[in-house]
Chains A and B, each alone.
Chain A
Amino acid sequence: AQSVTQLDSQVPVFEEAPVELRCNYSSSVSVYLFWYVQYPNQGLQLLLKYLSGSTLVKGINGFEAEFNKSQTSFHLRKPSVHISDTAEYFCAVSNQGGKLIFGQGTELSVKP
């Protein structure tokens, strides 16, 4: 069975500082990996995805993530955050069956 663990439930950070949101997954088969962002009272928006190919994936709003198969991780990074990045971030994994398994979410709070 697949599972996703987001290692931090809350991450406070000051504006313009770098941030890393950690995600580990478990799966016995090849997986597809996603990061979604949820702003208050909204649905989820795709930040980036890893399907195959280069392990460094760039997404929207300056975010990037690196797929590390040996460590079964897919950590999300941004070199300099803005107040507008305050939101909840979800890591998700799926196999070829199409069902997404989500992590519990990480609440990113950017302070001035």
Chain B
Amino acid sequence: NAGVTQTPKFRVLKTGQSMTLLCAQDMNHEYMYWYRQDPGMGLRLIHYSVGEGTTAKGEVPDGYNVSRLKKQNFLLGLESAAPSQTSVYFCASSQFSNQPQHFGDGTRLSIL
């Protein structure tokens, strides 16, 4: 089972560039999430989705946009990258809101 797959695994951007991170899950989960992980701060929720075609803001949504056009995919976009967005990004999914989330292996993003 692939579970949750994130692409790319690594990326270096220049300030002001844009990019999209892709998350795909093959477990037919309804809920999908994007987090960022920074040293000493745990994981913070950026955006999430409770089903195909829906998105909602999390704790730190500024500077990011998301789309959930297909149930299995959840895209995270950076319109104009800033050095403060250098982080490790994790995607997760769950079947129901009270069920454990399954995580991808992360995307390491550096913005110069």
Contact = CB atoms under 8 A, between A and B. Distances in A.
A44 B106 CA distance: 9
A100 interface: yes
A4 B42 CA distance: 10
Nearest to A105: B42
Contacts of A53: none
Interface residues of B, number: 25
A94 B105 CA distance: 22
A10 to B, nearest CB: 11
Contacts of B97: 94, 96-98
B42 A99 contact: no
Given A42-B105, A44-B103, A49-B100, A98 B41 contact: no
B35 to A, nearest CB: 8
A94 B102 CA distance: 15
Contacts of A90: 42-43
B16 to A, nearest CB: 28
Contacts, number: 58
Interface in A51-104: 51, 90, 94, 96-104
Given A43-B103, A46-B100, A103 B42 contact: yes
A51 to B, nearest CB: 6
Interface of B: 4, 31, 33, 40-45, 48, 50, 58, 90, 92, 94, 96-98, 100-106
Given A98-B50, A102-B42, 11 more contacts: A41-B106, A43-B104, A43-B105, A46-B101, A46-B102, A98-B48, A98-B97, A98-B98, A100-B43, A100-B101, A102-B43
The 9 nearest A-B residue pairs measured at CB: A98-B97, A43-B103, A102-B42, A44-B103, A102-B43, A46-B100, A43-B105, A104-B42, A32-B98
